[in-house]
Chains A and B, each alone.
Chain A
């Protein structure tokens, strides 16, 4: 086999199948190695080369749950002792309703949910195909009251949060809003007025469309300042 080599620039937009590297590199996320040993992109995204690992940061795509993720769900069905939750994913979440007294430490009021309620939940277990177990049995989880739900591309969630929550802090402070970001791309917001909410919505669209261009935080920050001045 030929020598190791990187075949793209770091942060370059790459398309599915595009050769990224060959040789000794390790496979990161959303890449595969073909029969000839070339590492290729699986998705439309940004090439991401860190030391000896080659990955693609996808620019779009459905939400695929991971254990430990925090998601915003909508109750879509309640049947017997289980609550079925839509989490904007190919897979529906399930919350078993705990049985009475065996679990005394459980706050049963939390399970008093109805169709269409919005909840903040944690992915407890996921087998990768059918069984997706959610939990609301933790401090801070459970029904979300008031506010509104916005959506972003699930692939853009890390950019909405930013490094050490930097972007989220900008969004919260500039729009004076309470914001909770679910890993599934649903965002719960409570804004002081429609003006801030509309500005936030535009800022989210800006994050989605400009995430591949560096200097995003500064642009979003000055955009919001401008949008909400006077």
Chain B
């Protein structure tokens, strides 16, 4: 994904390609196998909902923070969801401190788009007083250890964090004062749109690439599947695909959805 910033050696490409041509991957997985997903137990943040997950050696931590404020003028009947990704310098020797670069912004938007396009978070349920006061959810995605496929890891962690979020109830009193109650409400997740990232190496599609596979890949694509099995968002990244390959990727993703969705539900 960030191949331009990383020094790769020429043996890597030949080796990975040679394996792929024999139907193998460098870590011994099958082309359509996900790495193990581990959800860390415990509380690590002050967010209203959070999830620290490991996807193989990739580690991400997502926190959902809530606030209240005015809705956007063009959507007075909807709450606000803001997504932000930080590629922390401690996650990789190639990440540098500073404001999010284009890679970080792209990742954040890919996750955000999957969630929004599937209408996963019921945005109208975030309204307190139409046109005046709504809940604002901040989805802060922290990358702690980067070993490939941030999109999928962050999507999984984001859904778990949203699903777990418990937010203080806010009401407007008769005198117009805002009152924050002890009582909490839970975010209503209507769908579980899951992103599936594939890289193309030679003429093969590999699901859930590790860093080395990303580095030598000819093309990469991330696509989200909703609970109905519909494709709800796509981001083609570098390289090129045939139409057949894209269709193939969507059907693999569709077949993988129940397994990953179950993992997300379990964690929530």
Can you show 20 pairs from A to B with CB atoms below 8 A apart?
A76-B7, A86-B7, A114-B10, A116-B8, A116-B9, A116-B10, A117-B9, A117-B10, A118-B9, A118-B10, A118-B11, A144-B11, A147-B11, A147-B15, A148-B11, A149-B9, A149-B12, A188-B11, A194-B28, A198-B28
Q: A76: which B residues are within 8 A, CB to CB?
A: 7
Mask, B1-37, CB within 8 Å of A = 1, is 0000001111110110001001010111000000000
Interface set, chain A 62-97, CB cutoff 8 A to B = 74, 76, 86
Residues of B in contact (CB 8 Å), total 14
Determine the distance from Cα of A76 to Cα of B6 in the docked complex, in whole angstroms.
Answer: 10
Q: With an 8 A cutoff between CB atoms, is A146 at the interface?
A: yes
By a CB distance below 8 angstroms, the chain B residues around A144 are: 11
Complex CA distance for A114 and B14, rounded to whole angstroms: 15
Closest to B24 in A: A194
Which 5 A-B pairs have CB atoms at the shortest separation, nearest pair first? Answer: A116-B10, A148-B15, A74-B9, A118-B9, A194-B24
A198 cross-chain contacts in B, Cβ below 8 A: 27-28
Chain B residues contacting A146 (CB-CB under 8 Å) are: 11, 14
Q: What is the bound-complex CA distance between A149 and B8, given in angstroms?
A: 11
Q: Which residues of A contact B14 (CB under 8 A)?
A: 146
Q: Distance (Å) between the CB of A91 and the closest chain B CB?
A: 15
On whether A74 and B7 interact (CB within 8 A), knowing A146-B14, A148-B12, A149-B12, the answer reads yes
Interface string of A132-162 (1 = CB under 8 A from B): 0000000000001011110000000000000
Our pick among A117, A149, A194 for the contact of B19 (Cβ within 8 Å) is: A194
Roughly how many angstroms separate A86 CA and B26 CA in the complex, as a whole number?
23
- A119 CB, nearest partner CB in chain B, Å: 10
Q: Mark B115-128, 1 if CB is under 8 A from A, else 0.
A: 00000000000000
Q: Which of B27-62 contact A (CB under 8 A)?
A: 27-28
Give CA–CA (A194, B16) in the complex, Å.
11
CA separation between A146 and B15, bound complex, in Å?
A: 8
How far, in angstroms, from A117 to B11 measured CA to CA in the complex?
Answer: 7
Residues of A within 8 A of B24 (CB): 194
The interface centre, meaning the residue of B8, B11, B19 with most chain A CB atoms within 10 A of its CB, is B11
Residues on the A chain within 8 Å of B27, using CB: 198
Give the shortest distance, in Å, between A227 (CB) and chain B (any CB).
12
Contact string against B for A residues 93-119, beta-carbon threshold 8 Å, 1 for contact and 0 otherwise: 000000000000000000000101110
Once the chains are docked, how many angstroms separate the CA of A144 from the CA of B9?
A: 11
Shortest Cβ gap from B211 to chain A (Å): 13
Bound together, the chains give a CA A162 to CA B154 distance in angstroms of: 42
Q: What is the CB-to-nearest-CB distance from B13 to chain A, in angstroms, rounded to a whole number? A: 8
- Chain B residues with CB below 8 A from A117, complex form: 9-10
Residues of A near B10 (CB, < 8 A) are 114, 116-118
Task: Tell which of B9, B14, B15, B26 has the most Cβ of chain A within 10 Å.
Answer: B9
* Nearest chain A CB to B1 CB, angstrom units: 18
Q: How far is the CB of B15 from the nearest CB of chain A, in Å?
A: 4
Query: Which residue of the partner chain A has the closest CB to B13?
Result: A116
Distance between Cα atoms of A74 and B8 in the complex (Å) = 8
Contacts of A194 in B (CB 8 A): 19, 22, 24, 26, 28
**Given contact pairs A116-B9, A149-B12, a sample of 4 additional A-B residue pairs in the complex whose CB atoms are under 8 Å apart:** A76-B7, A146-B14, A188-B11, A194-B24
For B11, the chain A residues whose CB sits under 8 A away are 118, 144, 146-149, 188
Assembly CA distance A149 to B16 (angstroms):
11
A193 to chain B, nearest CB (A): 9
Whole-angstrom distance between the Cβ of A77 and the nearest chain B Cβ: 10
CB-nearest residue of chain A to B10:
A116
B contact residues around A86 at 8 Å (CB): 7
Chain A residues positioned under 8 Å from B19 (CB to CB): 194
B202 CB, nearest partner CB in chain A, Å: 16
The docked-state distance in angstroms from the alpha carbon of A127 to that of B234 is: 53
Given the complex of chains A and B, what is the CA–CA distance between A160 and B145 in angstroms?
27
Minimum Cβ distance to chain A for residue B124 (Å) = 51
Shortest CB distance B35–A (Å): 15
A194 and B25 CA atoms in complex are apart in Å by: 9
Q: How far is the CA of A51 from the CA of B8 in the complex (A)?
A: 45
CB-CB under 8 A from B8, the residues of chain A are 116
| Set of chain B residues within 8 Å of A118, measured between Cβ atoms | 9-11
Mask: chain A, 175-192; 1 = CB below 8 Å from B; 0 = not = 000000000000010000
Of chain A, the residue at the smallest CB distance from B8 is A116
* Residues in B whose Cβ lies below 8 Å from that of A116: 7-10
B7: which A residues are within 8 A, CB to CB?
74, 76, 86, 116
